[in-house]
């Protein structure tokens, strides 16, 4: 858990200045920032307004996926639309039923916006703003059409008066239900706990505008603090992603594989690492930024056997799998014996798209909870990577053919 929190800290620290959190906390909007490159696409920042709206604490939200706010009545179709937008690295605006910590549902207008690296077009973060939908919940409380220009408090009293005059003549379940709602201590001001979750709520233009302004303010803060570090971000993709940059959908699939491994691209000069799992970072002590774009040889050191390196080189050139025992070095210069398995990964057309290297610290060779020995775990990892690459190799932006 401590290692995961360290990665979450790096998610913002590696891109923006150290004052970015303070600047984001000054904004009054309800929003989260997530990192699609990390396992589970976790929340890496949450605003104070969002915590107040949902009833959660910061510790309960950071590191979790946004699905934690969904519940039994959340529309599955809406969830799928959000997932598709993330997969395609696009923004989306949608009405969504979420749940507070205490289990009460509430409707929000949800706007999701991607944040790109200005230099290479890579997706960096997603910003998700949630604006509570008030007006439609008020509109249906009395069962009458809204009276334009009449304050909610006056309309509330008028509805209550009308109900009291009708009670003597009409008795029904619906009237009793309305009576319960209208006899509360205060009008339905800022409380939306009485929302009829069976009826979808539509955001009004004012709520949509609030979301757009919030997105603009947040992106302005992120842009400014990325300029301080020189690692610029932008709202729209300013350049075509370089060859070797993995799309979000492939990243998401690979993030589900809980094993130490890297993916290298043989179609690029010096075969750089284009993906590194969280477990690999934990094993070696490096950050993702320090690993991506480098050849795996940086793990070798003065006592690494050159004949082992030559065997690896031969297997890469012949596009064949191999398993070696090699002495590698962590970032802190400590050494460890690595039972390394390397295998080619082909796309749907049969061309080698990547090589996967699965690491296994010799001091940690034991069966896992499923009874798999180290060798089986490595082969299982290779199989999972191959499925992920092949299933997405025909997707636009992911094809290597």
**92 part of a folded domain:** yes
**131 part of a folded domain:** yes
**61 part of a folded domain:** yes
Sorting pLDDT into bands at 50, 70 and 90, what band is 65? very high
Instruction: With beta carbons less than 8 A apart as the criterion, state whether 41 and 86 touch.
Output: yes
Q: If you average pLDDT over residues 184-190, what whole number do you get?
A: 40
Which tens digits make up the pLDDT trace of 124-172? 999 999 999 985 444 443 333 333 344 444 444 544 554 454 444 444 4
Sorting pLDDT into bands at 50, 70 and 90, what band is 182? very low
Bigger pLDDT: 110 vs 10: 110
Distance CA 34, CA 282 (A): 21
Distance CA 77, CA 202 (A): 16
Sorting pLDDT into bands at 50, 70 and 90, what band is 371? low
138: three-class secondary structure by DSSP = helix
The answer on 117 and 224 residing in a single domain is yes
- From 234, 257, 275, give the residue that closes a domain: 234
**307 part of a folded domain:** yes
Cβ neighbours, 10 Å, residue 297: 12
Nearest to 12 by CA among 30, 29, 25, 27: 25
The answer on 222 and 268 residing in a single domain is no
- pLDDT, residue 174, reads 41
The residue whose two tokens read 């969904």 is 70
> Which CATH number fits the domain that encloses residue 67?
3.30.450.20
The answer on 219 and 70 residing in a single domain is yes
**358 part of a folded domain:** yes
The answer on 39 and 11 residing in a single domain is yes
Distance CA 120, CA 268 (A): 15
Domain housing 361 = 248-394
- pLDDT, residue 95, reads 95
The structure's pTM equals: 0.63
- pLDDT, residue 99, reads 96
Number of domains in the chain: 2
Which tens digits make up the pLDDT trace of 299-311? 999 999 999 999 9
The answer on 119 and 87 residing in a single domain is yes
**156 part of a folded domain:** no
**211 part of a folded domain:** yes
Nearest to 220 by CA among 238, 207, 235, 237: 235
Bigger pLDDT: 61 vs 245: 61
**189 part of a folded domain:** no
Q: If you average pLDDT over residues 348-369, what whole number do you get?
A: 80
The answer on 217 and 106 residing in a single domain is yes
């Amino acid at each position: 858990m401590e290692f995961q929190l360290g990665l979450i800290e790096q998610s913002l620290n590696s891109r923006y200045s150290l004052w970015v959190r303070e600047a984001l906390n000054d904004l009054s909007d309800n929003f989260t920032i997530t990192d699609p490159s990390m396992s589970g696409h976790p929340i890496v920042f949450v605003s104070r307004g969002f915590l107040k709206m949902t009833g959660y604490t910061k510790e309960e939200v950071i590191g979790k996926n946004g699905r934690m706010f969904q519940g039994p009545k959340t529309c599955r179709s809406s969830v799928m639309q959000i997932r598709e937008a993330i997969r395609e690295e696009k923004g989306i605006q949608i009405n969504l039923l979420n749940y507070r910590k205490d289990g009460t549902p509430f409707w929000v207008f949800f706007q999701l916006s991607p944040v790109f690296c200005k230099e290479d077009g890579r997706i960096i973060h997603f910003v998700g703003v949630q604006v509570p939908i008030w007006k439609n919940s008020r509109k249906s409380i009395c069962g009458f059409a809204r009276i334009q220009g009449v304050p909610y408090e006056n309309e509330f009293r008028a509805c209550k008066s009308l109900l009291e005059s009708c009670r003597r003549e009409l008795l029904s379940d619906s009237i009793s239900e309305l009576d319960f709602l209208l006899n509360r201590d205060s009008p339905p001001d800022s409380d939306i706990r009485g929302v009829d979750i069976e009826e979808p709520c539509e955001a009004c233009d004012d709520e949509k505008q609030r979301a757009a302004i919030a997105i603009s303010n947040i992106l302005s803060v992120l842009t400014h603090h990325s300029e301080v570090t020189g690692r610029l971000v932008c709202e729209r993709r300013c350049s075509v992603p370089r060859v070797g940059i993995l799309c979000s959908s492939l990243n998401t699939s690979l993030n589900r594989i809980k094993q130490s491994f890297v993916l290298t691209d043989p179609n690029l000069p010096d075969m750089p690492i284009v993906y590194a799992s969280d477990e690999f970072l934990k094993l070696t002590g490096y950050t993702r930024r320090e690993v991506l774009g480098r050849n795996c040889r940086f793990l070798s050191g003065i006592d690494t056997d050159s004949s082992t390196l030559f065997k690896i080189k031969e297997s890469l050139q012949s596009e064949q799998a191999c398993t070696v025992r090699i002495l590698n070095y962590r970032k802190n210069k400590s050494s460890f014996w690595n039972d390394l398995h390397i295998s080619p990964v082909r796309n749907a057309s049969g061309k080698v798209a990547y090589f996967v290297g699965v690491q296994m610290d010799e001091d940690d060779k034991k069966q896992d909870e499923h009874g798999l020995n180290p060798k089986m775990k490595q082969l299982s990892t290779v199989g999972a990577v191959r499925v992920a690459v092949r299933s997405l190799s025909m997707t636009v932006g992911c094809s290597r053919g």
